[in-house]
Amino acid sequence: MLREPAKPTYEELKERVQQLEAEVAELRKAEASYRKEESTIREVEKIALLGHWQLDMVSGTLYWSEEIFDIFDISPGEFEATYEAFLNTIHPHDREYVDRAYTESLKNKTGYDIVHRLLLRDGRVKYVREKCRTEYDEDGKPLRSLGTVQDITDRVRAQQTFSGIIGRDPKMRELFDAIRELSNINVPVYIQGESGTGKELVASAIHNEGPRAREPFVPVNCSALPEGLLESELFGHVKGAFTGAIRDKRGRFELADGGTLFLDEVADLPKSVQVKLLRVLQEGKFERVGDEKSISVDVRIISAANRDLRTEVDRGNFRADLFYRIRVVPLLLPPLRERSSDIPLLVDHFVECMAREGQHTEGISKEVIPLLLDYCWPGNIRELQSALRYALIKSKGGLIQPEHLPEEVKSAQSASTACESNQPRDSEGIRDDFEENRGEKPGRVKLDRISVMDALNKAGGNKTRAADILRVGRATLYRYLNDNPL
């Protein structure tokens, strides 16, 4: 017969309970330590705008940390927690690139470190840096992928903008350097650029980056006011100076005292006003209309025009002595067609602005970008913004497709005609780059799958940098990717 085990004594039970209580205390202590570490990690992730994720390759389940949900602006209850659901949050133009980076990293067991964009539900665009590595079993099969996502939007925006001006084209970077230099030098600046290139933005940047930034910036459109009112607008008037002058009025010069006066379309100033303006620049004094008392002001003058002021001098429309006074430092703003690599940046910016205004859109299809790059934009940035607003209305809040663009933009014939009439053929070789894959420019670089993939990898997925590596125009690269998906 089997003997029943002896019953533990009271002392033995007491000792066992004490051991269990000690083990429970250790577990609680470990749990508290883990929770504290987890809380610290969350705080660090929030500070760094960094989240972590894990994809179980066996079950297909995707885990996101809280910070990733914040970055993607999605609540956990709205997310299906699958790889496909993740891809749907990526900017439409970057989905293939992100998917390819991940699948190739699995195949080559290399992991990846890439930069791509997110398109949030409200139309905002974010830039993120994503890193990943994958663990494999003994047979080389992937078990799980681990990664991080960091919001680098502010950092990227800082590289793409300067004092509210968007651009990373070399011509714009040169302009930014010039603005920095001029902001601290109190000399008259003359800005020449086509309509819609952003002359007032440049003038405002010169003011805001300098020591007068806390003082007024006063713009005047010289072509928008009739001659009879322009003198009063600039210099002010006293009560009774003319019919309707029922009180004293300060002019723009007085309002800008200590700050900057921006004279837009200065070439349209009538000769009578040119004489008075010349005196202000020479002596810093003027009289209100109908008054004999001189007023002294400290005003920096920045002027602008959409046509060559020297030509207006030669034609007798503008005083030569005033020309040399206001054109101490000339700045030439490049038209949009000469910095077409900035078009995607401007598109993202305008789409975000429209989203903030409550105009919802699902984004812009990748087929649209080559059309925008090929068109020469005679109305420059202002025309691009109007074209996007038109497309947004036509798309009814959905994905903007080529058919939603204005006719002159989507029509190759119209675009070609406009470009020939508004742009030199060999301006920086931009138009030549557009044609190199059409067989119209013998001796040009021919793209192939291997060279394109290599350039994209070297550029971290940035198509502008990839185009520079390939020594082709961005439109050419977009066209190749549309015709030959990687």
Closest Cα partner for 360 from 189, 181, 119? 119
Closest Cα partner for 270 from 282, 262, 280, 278? 278
Same domain, 179 and 328: yes
Same domain, 294 and 268: yes
- Alpha-carbon span 373 to 430, nearest angstrom: 10
Establish if 233 belongs to a structural domain. Answer: yes
The predicted model gives 31-37 an average pLDDT of 65
Domain residue limits at 182:
170-332
Same domain, 343 and 400: yes
Same domain, 141 and 73: yes
Evaluate whether 397 touches 362 at the Cβ level (below 8 Å): yes
Same domain, 241 and 307: yes
Establish if 162 belongs to a structural domain. Answer: no
The pLDDT of residue 38 is 60
pLDDT tens digit sequence for 282-325: 888 888 888 888 888 999 999 999 989 999 999 999 999 999 99
pLDDT tens digit sequence for 392-405: 999 888 889 999 99
Q: Tell me, what CATH number does 432's domain have?
A: 1.10.8.60
Same domain, 268 and 416: no
DSSP characters for 209-277?
TSTTTTS-EEEEETTSS-HHHHHHHHH-B-TTSSTT--S-B--HHHHTTTSEEEEETGGG--HHHHHHH
Establish if 11 belongs to a structural domain. Answer: no
Answer with the one of 123, 155, 187 that is the final residue of a domain.
Answer: 155
* Percentage of the chain exceeding pLDDT 90: 37
Q: Tell me, what CATH number does 105's domain have?
A: 3.30.450.20
The pLDDT of residue 291 is 83
Instruction: Give how many domains the chain has, as a whole number.
Output: 3
Closest Cα partner for 399 from 437, 362, 439, 349? 362
Answer with the one of 332, 361, 384 that is the final residue of a domain.
Answer: 332
Same domain, 176 and 151: no
Same domain, 148 and 279: no
Establish if 131 belongs to a structural domain. Answer: yes
Establish if 76 belongs to a structural domain. Answer: yes
Establish if 38 belongs to a structural domain. Answer: yes
Establish if 192 belongs to a structural domain. Answer: yes
Closest Cα partner for 215 from 324, 279, 297? 297
Answer with the one of 278, 305, 332 that is the final residue of a domain.
Answer: 332
Establish if 37 belongs to a structural domain. Answer: yes
Identify the weakest region by mean pLDDT among 144-158, 170-184, 241-255: 241-255
Same domain, 87 and 177: no
- Alpha-carbon span 383 to 152, nearest angstrom: 30
The pLDDT of residue 260 is 95
Same domain, 412 and 353: yes
Same domain, 197 and 304: yes
pTM higher than the cut 0.75? no
Q: Tell me, what CATH number does 250's domain have?
A: 3.40.50.300
Same domain, 346 and 315: no
